[in-house]
Amino acid sequence: MWQAEHVQALLQQLGHSVKLLGMTTQGDQILDRSLSKVGGKGLFVKELEVALEEGRADLAVHSLKDVPMDMPEGFALACVMEREDPRDAWVSPQYARLEDLPAGAVVGTSSLRRTVLLRALRPDLRIEPLRGNLDTRLRKLDEGQYAGIVLAASGLKRLGLQARIRHIFETEQMLPAAGQGALGIETRSNRSDVQQALASLSHHTSWLAVAAERAVSRAMGGSCSMPLAAHATVQGEQLHLRAAWGDPEGDTALVTAQVFGVVGSLAQAEALGLEVAQALRAGGAR
């Protein structure tokens, strides 16, 4: 709802009349199992796409990391907004950093990406599942079920919960998920009127970065069941893309790859993503 209200306010400043259609998705409702076991990222967008298809809604605002890599026929990613902090945050009432945890401490996350990265950093910890909205996750932490949890810094900041952040992981330590921290706006592909209204909200540099990241994920068959990280930064025309893949069974070391390239278009950014995916597979990623 924060995301929808944010876009609503920006569009109203441009002179548009905007109403919110509040919805609850399957991804919000199924909280007792990991996403990889109940249908993946698409559970957060399907009901919204039905509303678009039926004409009840003109656009849908998503956390881009929850949007499947391939859009269904008839739908389009019309806008990627300027990215918030893409990094992961460490949240704990007792321990200032992951390094401070005693051996065997319990850390909460249901992200396979975070699980393999945490294991690479601290193989002596217990990584346990954690689902639910931010309030639910923080409540479970405060009840003592976990010594600490890992969350997206962007979500905490957007909801005014920065004070809960004890430490933000640098990307060299915890590489983010593809699209993390970015908002994407989806429309029907034939709604050029809506796409035109959204044009001024789009942020070209952010879109180039997430296009490269999502291309890695798409080429690897990325979903919630893929323990994959991908993060790009853009300086001028130069894009730096890094990715990591880990074995969820913990049998092999992290596979990493990176590439630098000049990009001016989404196609060029996606080409770099394919290059990194090929390097990951060559290194043993599955």
Q: Say what the pLDDT of residue 43 is.
A: 53
Question: What are the residue ranges of helices labelled H in the chain?
Answer: 2-13, 26-29, 35-38, 46-53, 112-121, 134-142, 153-158, 192-198, 204-219, 266-282
In 3D space, the residue among 188, 229, 235, 190 whose CA is nearest the CA of residue 208 turns out to be: 235
Does the annotation count 100 as an active-site position? no
Q: Say what the pLDDT of residue 48 is.
A: 86
Q: Per the structure block, which two tokens stand in for 219?
A: 């080429």
Question: 């323990």: which residue's tokens?
Answer: 227
Q: Which of 28, 32, 58, 66 is catalytic?
A: 66
Query: For the purposes of burial, counting CB atoms within 10 Å of the CB of 166, is it exposed (0-12), middle (13-18) or buried (19 or more)?
Result: middle
pTM here is 0.88
Read off the amino acid at residue 169: F
Give, in degrees to the nearest 5, the angle at Cα 186 between 183 and 189: 150
What gap in Å lies between CA 126 and CA 111, rounded to an integer? 14
What are the structural domains of the chain? 1-82+181-202 (3.40.190.10), 88-168 (3.40.190.10), 203-286 (3.30.160.40)
- Spatial strand order in the sheet of 238-245: 228-235, 238-245, 255-262
Q: Are 56 and 146 in contact (CB under 8 A)?
A: no
What gap in Å lies between CA 165 and CA 285, rounded to an integer? 32
Q: How many CB atoms lie within 10 A of CB 56?
A: 11
In 3D space, the residue among 162, 139, 138 whose CA is nearest the CA of residue 150 turns out to be: 138
What is the residue-level pLDDT of the chain in tens, covering all 286 positions?
899 999 999 999 999 999 999 877 654 544 444 444 434 444 557 888 888 999 999 999 999 988 888 888 999 999 999 999 999 999 999 999 999 999 999 999 988 999 999 999 999 999 999 988 888 999 999 999 999 999 999 999 999 999 999 999 999 999 999 999 999 999 999 999 999 999 999 999 999 999 999 999 999 986 656 899 999 999 999 999 999 999 877 767 899 999 999 999 999 999 999 999 999 999 999 8
Q: Say what the pLDDT of residue 44 is.
A: 57
Q: Are 14 and 194 in contact (CB under 8 A)?
A: no
Q: Say what the pLDDT of residue 41 is.
A: 47
